[in-house]
Amino acid sequence: MTMRWVRIMLLTMTTGMAAHGSVTKASFGTMPDGTAVDVYTLKSDAIEARITTYGARLVSLQTADKNGKMDNVVLGYDSVKGYLDDPGPHFGAIVGRYGNRLAKGTFPLEGKTYHVPINNGPNSLHGGTAGFDKKVWKGREVAEGVELTLVSPDGDMGYPGTLTVHVRYSLHHNALRIDYSASTDKATVANLTNHAYFNLGGQSNPTILNEEIMIPADKYTPVDAGLIPTGELAPVEGTPMDFRKSTVIGKRIHDNFEQLKIAGGYDQNWVLRGATGETKTAARVYDPTSGRVLTVTTTEPGVQFYTGNFLDGSFKGAGGWPFVKNAGLCLETQHFPDSPNHPSFPTTELKPGVTKHSVTTFTFSTQAK
């Protein structure tokens, strides 16, 4: 074999390794009852993501700025202890069984009314007092990523049916893809999403108010004083909710507009164009200082844009990052909040023999200006 062919083979092997990346597992601490918690580090040729079995959550995500400098662009902690001490923001977690809010913790299903724990004013939020974000999932390495599995028994947090959930994180060059799969043995409701807080400026950027966002949606679901949808699909035209053109997040966040006053910023669901199950753009975020761009695509019908209004600086994350108000933004791809109580909304019912699938992808790039 000639030296030329050796070089070609080595180059091919190196390119293949870079394309496929690597997955490693390490300890992330223990739960108060002694249950071990792991963290998986996923690396591609462009980005690095860390996923923990506690809450199946995204712990950190390293990506390059316009100058090639890597930095973490999601809020999180160095160990499971941080998440136990500061559970309220749901940093990076898979939330469920029903992500977002259910009015008064009740919903009808097949002629019966179900009651789930109230943990957000008079309502239920993200599955209740012990939702999926507070469970230790089972992890296993898969091609280019990790798959987390959770079995939620019949009656868990008041929800009917034994629900089996698989969430797969995988890296594909400059993209983090999340595949969701859920099945049940009894009729139930399910609405799964990821609750990562992004700050494209990294740890040197105190808030996301300087970043620009585009959400290709003509309507949104207005909320009442308890942040529960009224049932209306309201046009964004002529309001601070109009992000059909890229707009600086802080430009209108303090406008004299009822929806902004209710939420203390943005915390509403936007109705995405296109059919449920069809891949569509949910949002595009640009940070002019770092040049980082995040493009979110999803098969879900909606996206909850949340500007970290309830963060108050009480906690500091990895590297001493202060989590002040507006330190990060969430783009929770989902079915609409409180859908079981609004028959006109896309259904979140799941029946035996049917597997619910959805896909959301976070793709990173840069632009000079």
Strand 349-350 with 188-189, pairing: antiparallel
- The Cα 340–Cα 335 span in angstroms is 10
Mean pLDDT (whole number) for 219-248: 98
φ, ψ (nearest 5 deg) of residue 18: -65, -40
CA 340, 342, 130: angle at the middle one, nearest 5?
A: 35
Catalytic annotation on 332?
A: yes
- The Cα 192–Cα 56 span in angstroms is 12
Query: Whose structure tokens read 């049940």?
Result: 184
Domain boundaries, the chain: 23-366
> In this structure, how many other beta carbons lie within 10 angstroms of the beta carbon of residue 64?
18
Of 90, 212, 332, 335, the active-site residue reads 332
Of 166, 195, 335, 342, the active-site residue reads 195
**What pLDDT, on a 0 to 100 scale, did the predictor assign at position 369?**
74
Query: Whose structure tokens read 């999403």?
Result: 193
The share of the chain scoring above pLDDT 90, in percent, equals 93
**What pLDDT, on a 0 to 100 scale, did the predictor assign at position 20?**
64
DSSP bridge partners of 22: 43
Catalytic annotation on 195?
A: yes
φ, ψ (nearest 5 deg) of residue 163: -105, 125
With beta carbons less than 8 A apart as the criterion, state whether 39 and 50 touch.
Answer: yes
- Whether residue 111 is predicted with pLDDT greater than 60 in this model: the reply is yes
**What pLDDT, on a 0 to 100 scale, did the predictor assign at position 368?**
85
- Whether residue 268 is predicted with pLDDT greater than 90 in this model: the reply is yes
What does the pLDDT look like over 285-324, one tens digit per residue? Answer: 999 999 999 999 999 999 999 999 999 999 999 889 999 9
- The Cα 65–Cα 80 span in angstroms is 28
With beta carbons less than 8 A apart as the criterion, state whether 61 and 73 touch.
Answer: yes
Mean pLDDT (whole number) for 47-67: 98
- The Cα 35–Cα 45 span in angstroms is 33
> In this structure, how many other beta carbons lie within 10 angstroms of the beta carbon of residue 67?
8
* CA torsion through residues 140, 141, 142, 145, sign: positive
What does the pLDDT look like over 5-21, one tens digit per residue? Answer: 333 333 333 333 334 68
Mean pLDDT (whole number) for 101-118: 98
CA 175, 95, 243: angle at the middle one, nearest 5?
A: 60
In order of 42, 67, 100, 198, the CA distances from 45 in angstroms are 10, 16, 34, 21
What does the pLDDT look like over 69-82, one tens digit per residue? Answer: 999 999 999 999 99
Question: What fold does the segment set 23-366 form as a domain?
Answer: Beta-galactosidase; Chain A, domain 5 (2.70.98)
**What pLDDT, on a 0 to 100 scale, did the predictor assign at position 358?**
98
